[in-house]
Amino acid sequence: MDELEELLARLTAAQRQLITSSAKTKTFPDNNTLQKIATLALNISSVETMIVETQARAQVARLAKAND
């Protein structure tokens, strides 16, 4: 799961950098930048979901093992 958390950190950092750069220009971001930010948001959400699902599966496995 460390790989997923590392990916999440990279995606979040990339999105934050784009948003920060856009804020500094004081103009409305171009469509390409907005698309990149939106795509990163979708990917971040997907990775977060995978992390939660992985944690839930691991917890179920631990409970099943404890009940054996």
**For position 63, what pLDDT does the model report?**
87
Residue of 63, 60, 16 lying closest to 41 (CA atoms): 16
What is the maximum span of the chain, computed from C-alpha positions, in angstroms?
Answer: 61
Residue 34 has pLDDT above 90, yes or no: yes
3 state SS of 28: coil
Residue 54 has pLDDT above 80, yes or no: yes
**For position 68, what pLDDT does the model report?**
78
The burial of 40, by beta-carbon neighbours within 10 Å (0-12 exposed, 13-18 middle, 19 or more buried), is given as: buried
The model carries a pTM of 0.86
Q: How far apart are CA 37 and CA 52, in angstroms?
A: 23
Q: Where are the domains of the chain?
A: 2-67
Residue 67 has pLDDT above 90, yes or no: no
Residue 1 has pLDDT above 70, yes or no: no
Q: How far apart are CA 48 and CA 33, in angstroms?
A: 22
| pLDDT, averaged across the chain | 95
